[in-house]
Each structure stands twice: as structure tokens, then as C-alpha cells.
Amino acid sequence: MQLGLNLNINDAIPETMAKSREAERLGLDYIWISDLPSQRYAPVVASAAASATERIRIGFGLISPFLHTPQQLASPLTTLMEAYGERFELCIGPGDRDQLRRVGVDLDRTEGIPTHLLKAKDKIQGSLRDRGFGCKIWLGAQGPKLLEIASSFDGVLLNYSSPRMIEWALRIIRKAKGEMPERVGIFAPSYVYKSFRPEIHRILQYASATVALGASRSVLEQFSFSEMLEPALKKFASGTLESSVLKLIPSMVIEEFSILKCQHDLPTYLDELRRLGIDHVVFAYPQGYSIETIRELAEALSRGMR
Amino acid sequence: MDLSVGLTTSSSVEMVKWFAHNADGLGLRGVWIGEDIGRPQEIFTVTSLILLETKRVNVGIGVASPFIRNITTVARAAAALSEISSGRFRLGLGVGGLQDLASMGVQVEKPLESMRRTLQTLRSIWRGETSVTDKELRLENYKPQYGHPVDTPVFMGVRGPKLLSLAAELADGVILSGPREYVKESIELIRERRLAAGLTERGFSFVLWVPTIMLSDERDLELAKKVVAVVVADTPDRLLETAGVSTDEVNTIRAIMRGSGAKEAARNVSDKLVDEFCISGDAERICEIFRSYSSLGINEAVFGPPYGRNPKDAIQQVAKAWGRT
């Protein structure tokens, strides 16, 4: 099983470099750097992370081909691969609807999102091939429409953590084309701890709530979350996740989208994921909150068999 | 007056890395990286490679077009580059070649208005305004979260009196390219406009970036002529007239360029045209010509491309000669 850490692009870049170095030293396989329109530009952050490390694989993503053209996604990759070696990968997906809308990309009025993603993937691969490079392109997916195209990608990252949701997603992927992508992973807000810190747990709740509230309608309906989330969704319409919204979200919903484990319990959870067919786990923010939380994760991982 | 080196996104990563590794030791003021639209490297990533490897030299983008990407991409890329630069990053913006833009399906109908809006909005975003809205730029309640205000100097690489006037009013500097007479007139225009707007010249930089090439033998001159053929073919007639260059001669070159390419067109490039559009000679001569622009008001001259047949050697020789003089 490959294990990765998602770094927060809200961090100052020197901090990201220090955390990348630590993730590599502790033996993690990947760091993932997301791209959001309101935050630091991921290729520059990835470049800084690469300059601080030697071998850890670096994933850009999730990054949206609705904001960047395929050429604009491929060219930073080739520049970085030429400079730092072929240790970069890419995860594309529609992106954060609210943030994209603020910069002129309205996904709600965009037709054929799956087709656009498939075309983007082909063009990116073509650009990379023209330059003599190749890299894995992952799909960040959640709802049925995207799950149905997942096997056309090198890997899929599912945006939830609960075994029942993962099983459901894998069934859809398999049913759509009768095959699975080469890699199947999850990408979920995480807090694996040695000594529990309420302030980090609070960040985890916010991060998970953001994912849950942004989940596709079909996912919410499939798991009977729609009714449970209705009051929160109404209040969240302004796009700001305040504590009053968080209070309206049942904790069981938050748990389905996040990994909250004490060190001792992590190996059992990873075994469960392995049994389902998951071979890549990205511990998303706030696991990368500090060097200490990264070390707590690494300690937990060293307890279990990879 | 300072000396810098020019690279572009057509430069190989090997060249970029070599430069980044040696830049601090060459005694240069900095490096400017130009965006060749559609070429292999990505401008912001290449810039990051040099910033991360150097400690002393200024690193500037000279120039990138804001019209081929979402404005927030420019804003946050510059914010990230500024963060790793310790105050050494400079952002140059230009409209971009019309043919390049068209090849990407981009039409800039009102370049003056669009550039003004772009610059003003970038500054609003960088000031850390909590919410930025600009319907033309398709921003609605945009909330930047870069964690720090950005104070990156903005340069404009533009031509024509209207855009130069805009640079005088809003930018921190301008990157000029063209024959000497054109450069002289542009500087005068900008000074005039700044004076009229009640702005001092202090803090405003004039950068000269024209093709430069170190001549060792006849083959270097051939390379210089080829570069000049490409440059003049894309130069507006008004600018040629300012420089007193015969449009008949240039039209012949343009026709051959279209039919047979730059190599053939280069045969029709006269030595006079090379002198107008290209700075060439041995290292000492190049430095001498650069310094002669100081009297016009140029603060910083940029060496290359195309440098010469051995770019690394040419950069080292010109840097050494600059140090001696």
C-alpha cells in the first residue's frame, strides 16, 4: 500500500518545504499538493517541495482542468520532471464549485464534465509524450458519473473514508467498464494521533464538513445524508463554513468523510481498506498540520504492516 | 546601470539549471525570463527553479501575458514566487503576440483597457482585500488567501504610446525593446507622462532587452541576421519609421520569411539592420553599447538570447567584461 500526505497550500512555503523533507525522511511514499483558486499556485509550491527532497513522489492535485488548459497542466509537470526527475503525478477533477464560481468557472452550468475530464487527460498525456515524458494521471472522484469513467485513468482517488462508501464506489467503477484503474486510493481529511489535540480535531471537523457539504447530490441521496444535511446546506449557501453550520452536521456524516484514529487503531483500518482493494491512502489536512502530527502518523504506520 | 541575463521558456531546463547554479557568482543584477507562448517550459515553474537555487540575483518574468490564463493564476503564482524570493521577484506583463494569442483562441479587443484593469485588480488582490469583484475579469467575491500581502514590482513589456503611457502611470518599470531611436522616444514619453501625473522618476526602472549576440566569427553574424529577420518581421511599421528603417527592406524580409523561413530571409538582412535591432560584437563591445544606453535613461540592460553559438561561454565572457568595465 502506498501512503501519502496532503500538504496544505495555506502553509508558508518554507514550512511546506520542511514538512516535505520530514515526510520523505519518515518514509512516506507521496506528498500531494492541492490547487485552489484562492491559494498559492500549486506548481510553484511543488517546485519548492521538490527542491527540498530527493525521492518522494509529488502529486499535483486535485487540480481543475476547468481552470487550467491541458497545456497549462502539462507544461509545469515537464519542467519539474526535467529539473527534479520523473517523480511527479497529477490528479484532476472538477474542483471546488464555490471557489471556481468566484473566478468565473461555473460548473453548475457546465455540461459534459466527465467528457471534458477525459479529453483533458488525453491532451495532457499527449503533451507529456511529445516531450518524452509520462506520468500517472489520477481522477479525483466522488459521484457515480465520475466513478464510471475512473477506469480510463491510471488511478482514482475517492473523496471519502468509510468502508461502505468505498465499497459502493468500487462497485460502480467495476460495473461501468468491467475493470479497475491501476491504482485505487482514498483522499480524506485525517487526524491520526498519539496525544489527542482538540484544536486539530476541530480543523478535521471543518475539513470533513467542507467535503460533505460539497458532495454530489447522488452521493448524499445514496447514503441518506440529504435530509441530515439539509439545514446545514441551507445555511452554507453563502459559501462560508461557520461554526453555526458545523453544529448542524451530524458527527456520523463527518466520520464518513474523514480518518480519525488513535495510532493504535490505524493498522486495523488500513487492513480493512486493503481488503476492499485500496492500495493508496492520502492523509489529507490536518494530518500535515505540523511536523509533530506528521511524525505521529509515521509512528502509527510503522506499527502496522504496509 | 546594471547587467542582467535573459532566458525564455524556450530555453532548456539544463540551461536554466546551469544559469541558476552560476548566477550569484557572475556578478549580475538579475535574470529576466520571457514567456514564449506555447513553448515547452512553464513560465512560473521555470522562475521558481531559479529563485530556489539563487540567493542574491533578482529574478523577473519579462514578460508573461495575463490574457491566456485566469487572472487569479497570475496573482497567486506571483504571490508564491514573491514568497520564495526574499524580495527578488519582479513580474513583467505584456499583451502577448497577437498570433500567439490567436493560436490559443484568445482575442484581446481592448488591450489598453484590459491591461489597466488587470494591473489594478492584481494590486487589489495582492493588498489582501478580503473580497475582490470585477465582472470583466469574471471575479465575483474572490477571497485570496495567500497569507501575506504581496509587494511585487510590476514591469510592463509593451509598445505604442498608449500602453507606454499606462506603464508610466501604473507600473514600477518598463521593459523596452527596439531600435535605439525608438527606445529613446519611449523613455522620453514615459518621463513626460509621469511628470504630468505628478509622479517622480525615482523608483521607476527602464530595462533594455533587445537581441544580443557575441560575435566570434562569420557564423555568429549569420545567427544574428536570422534573429533580426524574425524580429523585424514582427515589428510594427510605425516603430520602423520611428527608427528610420526602410519599410521596403523589411517588407522584402517579411515576404521571404513567409515563403521560405528565417534562414533565407536572413540573407536579406543588412548590417545596418543588424545594428538597429541587435546588439552584437565581442564582450567588451557589447558592454560598451549597453553602457551607452545609460545616457538615455536605461537602468538595466539584458544580455541574450541568442547570446552566440556557445551561450554559457558568452554569458560568462560578457559578465566578466562588465565587471572589468
For residue A246, the model assigns a pLDDT of 86
For residue A238, the model assigns a pLDDT of 67
In the structure, what pLDDT confidence band is assigned to residue A290 with cuts at 50, 70 and 90? very high
Among A25, A26, A1, A62, which Cα is nearest to A269's?
A1
HSE toward the beta carbon, residue A198, CA cutoff 13 A: 0
Task: Note the pLDDT tens digit of each residue in B76-100.
Answer: 999 999 999 999 999 999 998 777 8
In the structure, what pLDDT confidence band is assigned to residue B189 with cuts at 50, 70 and 90? very high
Mean pLDDT of chain B: 92
**A79/B53 touch (CB, cutoff 8 Å), yes or no:** no
What phi, psi does B29 have (nearest 5°)? -75, -40
Q: Is the distance from CB of B152 to CB of B78 less than 8 angstroms?
A: yes
Q: Is B70 on the interface with A (CB under 8 A)?
A: yes
- Please compute the mean of the pLDDT values over residues A257-282 and round it to a whole number: 97
In the structure, what pLDDT confidence band is assigned to residue B179 with cuts at 50, 70 and 90? very high
Task: Note the pLDDT tens digit of each residue in A156-202.
Answer: 999 999 999 999 999 999 999 899 999 999 999 999 999 999 999 99
Which of A10, A12, A82 is facing B13, going by the closest CB pair? A82
Q: Is the pLDDT of residue A91 over 90?
A: yes
Residue in A closest to B79 by C-alpha: A40
Q: Which three cell numbers, joined as nine digits, stand for A265?
A: 487503531
- Please compute the mean of the pLDDT values over residues B121-125 and round it to a whole number: 94
Task: List all residues 6 or more positions away from A27 whose beta carbon is below 8 Å from its beta carbon.
Answer: A298, A301
For residue B106, the model assigns a pLDDT of 86
- The DSSP code for B97 is -
For residue B243, the model assigns a pLDDT of 82
**CA B147/CA B152 separation, integer angstroms:** 15
**B45/A44 touch (CB, cutoff 8 Å), yes or no:** yes
Task: Note the pLDDT tens digit of each residue in A210-253.
Answer: 999 888 889 999 999 988 888 888 888 766 788 888 888 999 99
Q: Which three cell numbers, joined as nine digits, stand for A298?
A: 509515521
Task: Note the pLDDT tens digit of each residue in B15-42.
Answer: 999 999 999 999 999 999 999 887 779 9
In the structure, what pLDDT confidence band is assigned to residue A304 with cuts at 50, 70 and 90? low
**CA A289/CA A197 separation, integer angstroms:** 11
- Please compute the mean of the pLDDT values over residues B292-320 and round it to a whole number: 95
Q: Is the pLDDT of residue B114 over 90?
A: yes
More confident call, A109 vs B93? B93
In the three-class reduction of DSSP (H, G, I as helix; E, B as strand; rest coil), residue B302 is classed as strand
In the three-class reduction of DSSP (H, G, I as helix; E, B as strand; rest coil), residue B159 is classed as coil
Task: Note the pLDDT tens digit of each residue in A134-168.
Answer: 999 999 999 999 999 999 999 999 999 999 999 99
Which of B137, B144, B148 is facing A38, going by the closest CB pair? B144
Q: Which of B36, B72, B118, B141 to mutate to test the interface with A (most CBs of A within 10 A)?
A: B72
User: What whole-number percentage of chain A has pLDDT above 70?
Assistant: 98
